[in-house]
Chains A and B, each alone.
Chain A
């Protein structure tokens, strides 16, 4: 449980700014390594974008849509077995668009069969494609784009490109023009065993993580917004938070790489060259969501766990980002999601551009939100006829909402494009003791990417602290 900020001590080994999955994991690992850790979160809840909210008896999950099987091993090693044992498979993944409609378990075996039987791709091509993406590493050459990768294996097959790309665009915000490795690494992770979720919902997961942090001795303070990272003589000295200075030998910022450099740290702490590279970081796109609550006592049939739907004739990365996109994902939460909490909720997710929503007047903004909800319910009615009568709650979130709750630059829901990774990995070479963890480089995003990156960064921090202590 978080403690009142007044109970925080004046000095720690490490201060972690922000409690996204990356920040929480770094805090947990560093406590495990024996360091005295303070975790500061500006919001009243932990989790960052791994969050949920309650309305009229409904619990809505914001980013629990499905992660790869690798999460099982990661949770076992870096959290605990209770967390690991709550991971369950989502077996019914549905695609529906003008080019094809199909159901899949979204793993290599099933995808191989679909590519062969439905799309008539030769077996040898399929095998070589899978072998190629499985062999991709983040340090590989990144000059090839995902578009080029697809054209190499499936030239002119826009239907196959759609099957392969659409889910990954929703998973990490990547487009056909991003480096092929950002596609290949994430796609291979999913293809390993399929799509998994957390039984009990985001609230249970974050609750279990919070308990584990407490057990390992991490001090947690919520409603504590860090105003500034204090740097002296090229090294961090601590942070300023709620009008107080708290000292630390190392600071791990989970507040977004652009926020960390531009809003939390004095630019004079960095070299010209580093700032130039940091200024070129492109943040990834944001999202729109529509949260739909089904009345108590009402039920809906099983139409699938995750529905990738579109009425656009072909897949187009720009179309998916359009304010009025015809493409959206429906995540369905049946009572099995939260055993004992006998309710159904549906979350529609779309990728979206921050500027499309910030340029609107307040009146126009509210109108667009209403239209977004209306379009979503029309689309949902195709799969659940008459759904409107079963609903007792509906509301929408836009990039402005994401920005408000997470403070992410431009409300990004997938961190940064590829170049952010290098800046995140090298910030401690600029300022001694300053580290960054969070969604960067596309590959270090999503729940699994964020947690694993939290571990990678905690290794750097632990190494730094042990060097200091000689």
Chain B
């Protein structure tokens, strides 16, 4: 997956969680939590969806890597390079 594809994947998962999420003004380097009103349960949903769709196992200690869109992409890029 390219970085753009990974970004699209994350946004698609977030849209499933909250269909009213507004991505127009999303700052890719700022925390998703503050910008989109996501709580810790929503991040768990992202983890479960990534496992379901791409068999990715994200250990709890790596959850902080999911904080912003950019950090998600940086973290997932090597893991999804063959996806």
- Interface set of A (CB-CB < 8 Å, partner B): 29, 33-34, 74, 77, 452, 455-456, 458-459, 462-463, 466-467
Contact = CB atoms under 8 A, between A and B. Distances in A.
B81 interface: no
B44 A77 contact: no
B35 to A, nearest CB: 17
Nearest to A458: B48
Contacts of A34: 52
A77 B17 CA distance: 7
A456 B43 CA distance: 11
Q: Which of B41, B44, B52 has the most CB of A within 10 A?
A: B41
A458 B52 CA distance: 13
Interface in B28-63: 41, 44-45, 47-48, 51-52, 55, 57
User: Main SS of the interface on chain B?
Assistant: helix
Contact of B41 (A452, A463, A466, A467): A452
Nearest to B37: A73
A456 B44 contact: yes
Nearest to B56: A466
Q: How large is the interface on B (under 10, 10 to 19, 20 to 34, 35 or more residues)?
A: 10 to 19
Nearest to B18: A73
A270 B59 CA distance: 24
Interface of B: 17, 41, 44-45, 47-48, 51-52, 55, 57
B54 to A, nearest CB: 11
A74 B41 contact: yes
Contacts of B47: 459
A29 B17 CA distance: 14
Contacts of B48: 29, 33, 458-459, 462
A122 to B, nearest CB: 29
Nearest to B58: A463
